[in-house]
Amino acid sequence: MGNHQLRNGRVMPFASPDGAAHPDSFWCLDRISVEIGDAALRLKFIGYHSVDAYDEDRHPVTGAVKEYLVTGAEFMAAITLATAGAGIPISAEITRLAWAVALDVTDTADPENEEEMISFFASAEAPPA
């Protein structure tokens, strides 16, 4: 069985491409690639219907994928993010840093002010413990 607490994911409302509502979708980092030679960071997040769906080893929601290619100044900012400190497992640190990068990207129109851009994950929160 999956354990969402190990993934440091986030919960947010999401409408899949087929129009289905997933009001408590659970998103987690699926892949991270740091390409030093190309100065690029690739992140891939995937979404599940809910925390319970993830914990029950169900498949991700079809089309619930968010990918980022971070280059240039944003790449340098991402690879120089400060770590949380000693005693933190590397898996938790990697996912924490990936979320920091994703939350910094403004790639989605703000539903409250369409002239502003916000992060796709702006409404995402850590699930209850």
Q: What is the pTM of this model?
A: 0.87
Asked whether residue 85 is assigned to any structural domain, the reply reads yes
Asked whether residue 123 is assigned to any structural domain, the reply reads no
Paired with 41 in beta bridges are 34, 70
Asked whether residue 125 is assigned to any structural domain, the reply reads no
pLDDT under 70 in the chain at which residues?
1
Asked if 12 and 25 count as a contact pair (C-beta separation under 8 A), the reply is yes
Asked whether residue 128 is assigned to any structural domain, the reply reads no
pLDDT of residue 1: 60
Domain of residue 26, residue span:
4-118
Buried-exposed string 28-67: b where 16+ CB fall within 10 A, e elsewhere: bbeebeeeeeeeebebebbbbbbbebbeeeeebbeebebe
Asked whether residue 126 is assigned to any structural domain, the reply reads no
Asked whether residue 101 is assigned to any structural domain, the reply reads yes
The tokens describing 11, both together, are 């919960």
Phi-psi map region of 63: left, alpha, beta (phi>0 left; psi -120 to 50 alpha): left
Number of domains in the chain: 1
